[in-house]
């Protein structure tokens, strides 16, 4: 996996994987220009309402913030397809699902989106009825070009897919950086596991946490600072 063509913005970085150019954006999305596809993972809409219902004070604007950021990216890239790699909605149905329904209807109309596709994750437990009237294509996994898209990286087994590359979410990957004074900082990013031939995307949603991953020799990690994307190490 190598750095490739010039990205759309100087804050982004383009990498080449399986002969395809993918642009990594500091807003934790990925742009596949050849297929006019914008990818995000782990948005966890509805999480703030879920926690508030259980007595935990979470700001009400968390949901709106994620949707506004995503709409800005759709406006920037003008994709034909928006692909979410799981955990679109955090838990059981709540009032924030209605916000998403209105948002998605507007996105199709205002930005010419052709397809919204969800590769379902472990948090995607909403009943089929919740999707009635929405143009959302749902599946446990999906394939296009050299890539197999899954939510959990363990669902992509290299031995069963020789020559193919997995692209996943679920882990909310991050690495821990240590300074000369032993200060530490944990930053999210994209993790390519050489052993498993899988690229794991960072979580898009706010208030979703991160998990430090074990980056081994031969792996690659691209750090997202919030302002730019850069290779680790």
Is the pLDDT assigned to residue 161 strictly greater than 90? no
Mean pLDDT, rounded, of the chain: 90
- Which top CATH class is 2-231? alpha beta
pLDDT of residue 78: 97
pLDDT at 48 exceeding the cut of 70: no
Quick one: pLDDT at residue 217? Answer: 96
User: In this model, does residue 86 exceed pLDDT 90?
Assistant: yes
pLDDT of residue 157: 82
- Band (pLDDT 50/70/90 cuts) for residue 82 is very high
pTM: 0.91
Convert the chain into a string of H (helix), E (strand) and C (coil): CEECCCCCCCCCEEEEECCEEEEEECCCEEEEHHHCEEEECCCCECHHHHHHHCCCCCCCHHHHHHHHHHHHHHHHHCCCEEEECCCCECCCCCCHHHHHHHHHHHHHHHHCCCEEEEECCCCCCCCHHHHCCCCEEEECCEEECCEEECCCHHHCCHHHCCCCEEEECCCCEEEEEECCCCCEEEEEEEEEECCCCEEECCCCCCCCCCEECCCCCCCEEEEECCCCEEECC
Lowest mean pLDDT among 21-25, 52-56, 138-142, 201-205: 52-56
- Which tens digit of pLDDT belongs to each residue from 105-140? 999 999 999 999 999 999 899 999 999 999 999 999
């Amino acid at each position: 996996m190598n750095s490739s063509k010039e990205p759309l913005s100087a804050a982004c970085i383009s990498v080449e994987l399986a002969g395809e150019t993918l642009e990594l954006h500091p807003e934790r999305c990925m742009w596949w220009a050849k297929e006019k596809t914008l990818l995000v993972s782990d948005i966890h809409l509805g999480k703030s309402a879920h926690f508030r219902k259980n007595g935990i004070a979470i700001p009400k604007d968390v949901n709106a913030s994620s949707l506004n950021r995503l709409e800005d990216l759709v406006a920037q890239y003008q994709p034909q397809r928006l692909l979410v790699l799981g955990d679109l909605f955090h838990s059981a149905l709540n009032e924030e699902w209605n916000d998403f329904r209105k948002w998605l209807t507007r996105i199709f109309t205002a930005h010419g989106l052709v397809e919204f596709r969800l590769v379902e994750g472990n948090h995607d437990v909403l009943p089929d009825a919740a999707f009635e009237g929405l143009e959302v294509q749902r599946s446990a996994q999906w394939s296009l070009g050299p890539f197999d898209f899954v939510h959990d990286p363990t669902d992509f087994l290299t031995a069963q897919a020789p020559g193919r590359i997995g692209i996943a979410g679920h882990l909310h990957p991050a690495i821990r950086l240590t300074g000369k004074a032993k200060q530490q900082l944990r930053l999210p990013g994209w993790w390519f596991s050489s052993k498993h031939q899988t690229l794991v995307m960072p979580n898009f949603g706010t208030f979703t946490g991160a998990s430090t991953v074990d980056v081994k020799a031969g792996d690659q990690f691209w750090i997202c600072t919030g302002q730019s994307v850069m290779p680790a190490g």
